[in-house]
């Protein structure tokens, strides 16, 4: 009797078993389980999200790994396939070291949170209507495939398939990097140059700290650990603190054995200098503020810890996204026309760095609250300097300041010095965000 009974029960359950994998589709949304996703499973999750949220997602590849795996990116926004003029772009990159896997999983859960919240949660909807977020869960899929769950400390799987550490493979600001540029690195470089990213985060494991440029120093990676201050040190400290203070434990600074980071943040080279890091390259060549987020003491913890990691990082991931709307943004035009000026330089005070306008004349500068002198200049035009106040409250738009440059040899047209009405509007109409309670 028993065998017959078991058979009957099994047959009765069969339709249910076959139906279960379809459940997320039937509910009209995806659910990412707290289980590890290898390369093919990451690909599958991204495809399903794109299928179920086709209006707000765009799935694309930025290139291939050494072993031919696609480097998948999913963009999420109200209009995900194009850059919309004035909208800032954010880049989140996981798994640059193949054996540091928590960031990859966090990014899949973040995708679920954003996609599932669009149209239901007011803050998520407003954010995605004013911002495009690009998520690359696995930058080093070849290394990932060779990594081992439970391996906290080894370097197995860290490098790409040609044994290059991708976070030592970028051209360096301070010293010559003789490493041949790897396909994964080249893909990141091409991608970063093709989209005007304003904010980037790169996820690692092996520590719990929010780290910011510079990663190298004038003395090089074999020199001492010293604070290597970038021109945007104030806003970098703010971005790093945003992550650590909203994280479940990072701000305590002593989460991993033997480490102590005051407030859970560190200047990169003050921790240890390194040559060829992605962070410094994206900052310089992407003209994009970039932080490195170390999110787990163990590089590849056991799967049962994934839920806790999401809980610890969820608010931080979202709070950091919102910071892209801090500071100023605008467009630069030829005075008296609606013709944009591309490749104009936008300088904040005496900060020794250069940000350029896009082909639509756009610029973004993330800034902490305060008063700034903003200068826009380009050869062949008279430069213009203006004082701008960045408020403390956070909104879905930076302060908008458009500039109208007068071509040399021409007279100034009426709108050369018109105060920005948009600044007044954004300062008065925008609503305050209290993210912890809203999300």
Active site residues: 294
Residue with tokens 């790897």: 182
Q: x-or-dash pattern for Zn ion, window 92-121, by CB under 5 A?
A: -----x--x---------------------
Q: Are 325 and 88 in contact (CB under 8 A)?
A: yes
Q: In this chain, which stretch among 68-76, 89-97, 114-122, 326-334 interacts with Zn ion, using CB under 5 A?
A: 89-97
Nearer to Zn ion, 94 or 116 (CB): 94
Cβ at position 149, least distance to Zn ion in Å: 17
Q: At what angle do helices 102-117 and 306-322 cross, to 10 degrees?
A: 60
Q: x-or-dash pattern for Zn ion, window 195-234, by CB under 5 A?
A: ---------x------------------------------
Binding positions for Zn ion, 139-198, rule CB under 5 A = none
Nearer to Zn ion, 97 or 275 (CB): 97
The count of residues interacting with Zn ion (CB under 5 A) is: 3
Cβ at position 136, least distance to Zn ion in Å: 15
Cβ at position 247, least distance to Zn ion in Å: 17
Cβ at position 252, least distance to Zn ion in Å: 21
Dist. CA 268–CA 236, nearest whole Å: 11
Task: Please give the residue whose beta carbon sits closest to Zn ion in the complex.
Answer: 204
DSSP 118-176: TTTSHHHHHHHHH-EEEEES-S-HHHHHT--TT--S--TTTS-TTS--GGG-S--SSS-
CA distances from 319 to 87, 194, 262, 264 (A): 18, 25, 20, 16
List of residues 6+ apart from 96 with CB closer than 8 A: 139, 140, 166, 167, 202, 203, 204, 278
DSSP β-bridge partners for residue 334: 405
Nearer to Zn ion, 69 or 204 (CB): 204
Pairing of strands 399-400, 362-365: unpaired
Cβ at position 102, least distance to Zn ion in Å: 11
Q: x-or-dash pattern for Zn ion, window 39-78, by CB under 5 A?
A: ----------------------------------------
List of residues 6+ apart from 107 with CB closer than 8 A: 92, 94, 135, 136, 137, 203
Nearer to Zn ion, 100 or 112 (CB): 100
Query: In the complex, which residues of this chain contact Zn ion (CB under 5 A)?
Result: 97, 100, 204
């Amino acid at each position: 009797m028993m065998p017959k009974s078991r058979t009957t029960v099994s047959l009765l359950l069969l339709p249910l078993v076959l139906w279960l994998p379809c459940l997320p589709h039937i509910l009209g949304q995806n659910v990412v389980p707290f289980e590890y996703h290898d390369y093919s499973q990451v690909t599958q999750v991204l495809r399903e999200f794109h299928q179920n949220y086709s209006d707000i997602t765009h799935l694309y590849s930025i290139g291939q790994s050494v072993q031919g795996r696609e480097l998948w990116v999913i963009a999420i926004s109200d209009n995900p396939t194009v850059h919309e003029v004035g909208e800032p772009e954010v880049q989140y990159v996981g798994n640059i070291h193949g054996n540091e896997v928590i960031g990859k999983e966090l990014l899949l859960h973040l995708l679920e949170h954003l996609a599932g919240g669009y149209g239901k949660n007011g803050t998520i909807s407003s954010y995605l209507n004013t911002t495009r977020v690009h998520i690359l869960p696995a930058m080093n899929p070849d290394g990932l495939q060779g990594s081992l769950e439970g391996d906290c400390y080894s370097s197995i799987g860290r490098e790409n398939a040609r044994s290059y550490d991708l976070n030592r493979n970028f051209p360096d600001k301070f010293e010559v990097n003789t490493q041949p540029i790897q396909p994964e690195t080249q893909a990141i470089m091409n991608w970063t140059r093709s989209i005007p990213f304003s904010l980037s985060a790169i996820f690692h494991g092996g520590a719990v700290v929010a780290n910011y440029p510079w990663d190298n120093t004038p003395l090089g990676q074999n020199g001492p650990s010293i604070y290597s201050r970038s021109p945007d040190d104030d806003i970098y400290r703010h971005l790093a603190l945003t992550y650590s203070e909203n994280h479940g434990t990072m701000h305590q600074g002593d989460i991993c054995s033997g480490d102590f980071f005051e407030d859970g943040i560190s200047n990169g080279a003050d921790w240890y200098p390194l040559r060829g890091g992605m962070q410094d390259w994206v900052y310089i060549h992407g003209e994009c503020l970039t932080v490195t987020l170390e999110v787990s003491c163990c590089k590849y913890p056991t799967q049962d810890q994934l839920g806790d990691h999401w809980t610890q990082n969820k608010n931080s991931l979202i709070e950091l996204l919102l910071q892209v709307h801090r500071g100023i943004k605008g467009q630069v035009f030829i005075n008296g026309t609606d013709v944009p000026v591309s490749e104009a330089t936008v300088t904040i005070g005496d900060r020794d760095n250069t940000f350029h306008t896009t082909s639509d004349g756009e610029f973004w500068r993330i800034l902490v609250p305060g008063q700034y002198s903003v200068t826009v200049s380009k050869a062949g035009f008279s430069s213009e300097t203006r004082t701008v106040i960045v408020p403390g409250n956070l909104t879905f738009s930076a302060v908008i300041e458009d500039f109208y440059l007068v071509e040399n040899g021409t007279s100034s047209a009426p709108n050369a010095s018109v105060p920005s009405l948009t600044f007044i509007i954004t300062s008065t109409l925008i609503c305050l965000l209290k993210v912890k309670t809203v999300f």
